[in-house]
Structure 1
């Protein structure tokens, strides 16, 4: 039997996905925070922010029994999001481990893996000043401003990969027991399972690519915390300073080259081969190596650039699956499959270059 995964036609979903009722979420959140505070917590100014493709984000104010009012953020894992079903634990462990370090993250306030009275997995964190740059549209910021941000972005990644994760809450993530420490075999296997789910469309190259990635995964220079989605667009910046790194849901222990390969994808840099459109690849790698103390392997980076494209293809298919099978009523999910052809062509070239 072939080692590649078999595919089948997609079954039709029988029922629409569970909708998230914001009023019920608000009531449940108030009850959860009140119980933790030992008295009534009033939730005001509760607003769902512009939707992402995965977790739902809400901004709200919480007035505590002491009279203190805090501006907070709720992140909630919906039942039909891009990577449903969700776990809050990677994000919780990351925020706990990185509090007080040089890696800027929001402060963790509360969380519930099983959803508690809110109904869905969630966590609450502090509001952090700043705005998100949309990487696919470029930036109106000047080149000098973007260069400052790019330098901070690289330095923060270097600091993350130097972190003693084994002495932190991140030690609760799966332990490094994969063959020869190749922890990335786990996320590769996870992406292969997602891509192999029965759907309306079938892309044979993805079966072959998943097999090639599994067979050729390099041994890491060291095991580090891997953010898993480290890119322009997943941080807040305020007046030329990165104030928080966001979206730790794919955090795991693995090869630091994965974050580099993902961050350098032209998709996240307005189509440019330069980081944020201003920093040459060579500059990125040199600065990163100095900051992290980890030498960059050209071969490993090429492998993870191919893996990044494989993940990009998987993300598009997750969107299509959420729409076709889980009946998510977000038309952006349906449109994601239209990006498959150029991604697969780029993936084919990237594997050829890495082989």
Structure 2
């Protein structure tokens, strides 16, 4: 499924050849996908209407129809973790755990069909889930929608987050993500700090200092809940005025619910508005969340996680630039992410002052 990286022989006086990008061959993926679905279903399965979806910056997403004599046509989604992607190397465990744990709860998710971490048949880590009808709202197009419509969706969005945080993770497969020792928030901060310290990353002194401050001042959570990790406008499907699925669970973990709330309210994800989806004031979001979740929101913790959100956003920008410039991941959207760094770093400085 992939074209291996190739280096020149050690020839005196000659520099190494550029590392060739690892390519995901769509035709090979389609053929292997048919074999995989035929094997797990025990019947010949044909793949039709197979094609990449442009949404998303990390996993490669394919929409397709699986056709068999027993089940007819099924609209499915395949997500593949490329070896040179934004968050490589990829693990399917968080997403698979989320889809398994949340089926039948108040948090709408697609149904899991199959997955494999070693990707032996497809060639890369992958999972397959059902297709959910609807559209993914883009934050930059929010002004084109009716304000009453946006308000209804925004309230659903907050209420679903509250439902997620009310779930007892110990009774679900999420319990397997609970590891002893260091808290998930601290592991994440340490991971982003290490990413920003890589030799190929641009150096920002404020991020260096701010990462240490975040690690040393992380507040205790009011309770440990399931945290989505990327809960924002653009990561759900809406159909006929109703949120029908929450997407992109690759950063999910057990941690502080303030993390999701702070991330969701970032202006970056709300068409640069301080209001959620451009319609819900901050105080209204917090009040609605507290009443729906039963979890009191701490001003101090929320300020901390608003600073952390900007730090994480900066680290993700640098991961994107590395994926494009060093690992040759062929997505032009990643190439322009560095242009956002100056505004993110300035906002991070203000957020640190508010949190300190």
**TM-score range normalised by the length of the shorter chain:** over 0.9
Q: Distance in 1 between matches of 2:49 and 2:349?
A: 48
| Contact 2:50/2:62 (<8 A) preserved | yes
Q: Distance in 2 between matches of 1:189 and 1:200?
A: 16
**What does residue range 22-37 of structure 1 map to in structure 2 within 5 Å?**
22-37=26-41
The answer to whether the aligner puts 1:287 opposite 2:288 as a matched pair is yes
| Contact 2:206/2:345 (<8 A) preserved | yes
| Contact 1:257/1:304 (<8 A) preserved | yes
**What does residue range 87-102 of structure 1 map to in structure 2 within 5 Å?**
87-102=91-106
Q: Distance in 2 between matches of 1:14 and 1:208?
A: 34
| Contact 1:98/1:105 (<8 A) preserved | yes
| Contact 2:109/2:246 (<8 A) preserved | yes
The answer to whether the aligner puts 1:154 opposite 2:158 as a matched pair is yes
Counterpart in 1 of 2:273?
Answer: 272
| Contact 1:176/1:183 (<8 A) preserved | no
**1:68 pairs with one of 65, 72, 94:** 72
| Contact 1:191/1:311 (<8 A) preserved | yes
Deviation (angstroms), 1:200:
5.4
What is the DSSP-based 3-state SS (H/G/I as helix, E as strand, rest coil) of the residue aligned with 1:199?
A: coil
| Contact 2:262/2:309 (<8 A) preserved | yes
Q: Distance in 2 between matches of 1:161 and 1:207?
A: 31
Deviation (angstroms), 1:176:
5.3
Gaps of 5+ in 2: 1-15
| Contact 2:151/2:279 (<8 A) preserved | yes
**Where in structure 1 do 4 or more consecutive aligned residues deviate above 6 Å?**
none
Q: Distance in 2 between matches of 1:196 and 1:32?
A: 40
Q: Distance in 2 between matches of 1:149 and 1:87?
A: 31
Q: Distance in 2 between matches of 1:290 and 1:176?
A: 31
| Contact 1:192/1:210 (<8 A) preserved | yes
- Taking only aligned residues, the RMSD between alpha carbons, in angstroms, comes to 1.4
Gaps of 5+ in 1: 1-11
Q: Distance in 1 between matches of 2:251 and 2:184?
A: 13
Q: Distance in 1 between matches of 2:55 and 2:300?
A: 37
**1:119 pairs with one of 106, 119, 123:** 123
Q: Distance in 1 between matches of 2:164 and 2:173?
A: 14
Q: Distance in 2 between matches of 1:92 and 1:154?
A: 23
Counterpart in 2 of 1:247?
Answer: 248
| Contact 1:13/1:326 (<8 A) preserved | no
The answer to whether the aligner puts 1:43 opposite 2:44 as a matched pair is no
Deviation (angstroms), 1:187:
1.2
**TM-score using structure 1 length:** 0.93
What is the DSSP-based 3-state SS (H/G/I as helix, E as strand, rest coil) of the residue aligned with 1:118?
A: coil
Deviation (angstroms), 1:195:
1.4
- Higher relative contact order (Cα pairs below 8 Å, separated by 6+ residues): 1
Deviation (angstroms), 1:65:
4.1
What is the DSSP-based 3-state SS (H/G/I as helix, E as strand, rest coil) of the residue aligned with 2:337?
A: helix
What are the superposed Cα offsets for residues 66-96 of structure 1, whole Å, 9 maximum, x if unpaired? 1421110111111111111111110000000
What are the superposed Cα offsets for residues 104-155 of structure 1, whole Å, 9 maximum, x if unpaired? 0000001011112100111000110110011134341101000000010000
Q: Mean Cα displacement is larger for which, 190-199 or 247-256?
A: 190-199
Q: Distance in 1 between matches of 2:17 and 2:283?
A: 48
The answer to whether the aligner puts 1:345 opposite 2:346 as a matched pair is yes
Aligned residues: 341
Q: Distance in 2 between matches of 1:63 and 1:321?
A: 39
Counterpart in 1 of 2:139?
Answer: 135
| Contact 2:196/2:203 (<8 A) preserved | no
Q: Distance in 2 between matches of 1:170 and 1:302?
A: 27
The structure-2 alpha-carbon separation of the partners of 1:151 and 1:176, relative to structure 1 and needing over 3 Å to count, comes to: farther
**TM-score using structure 2 length:** 0.93
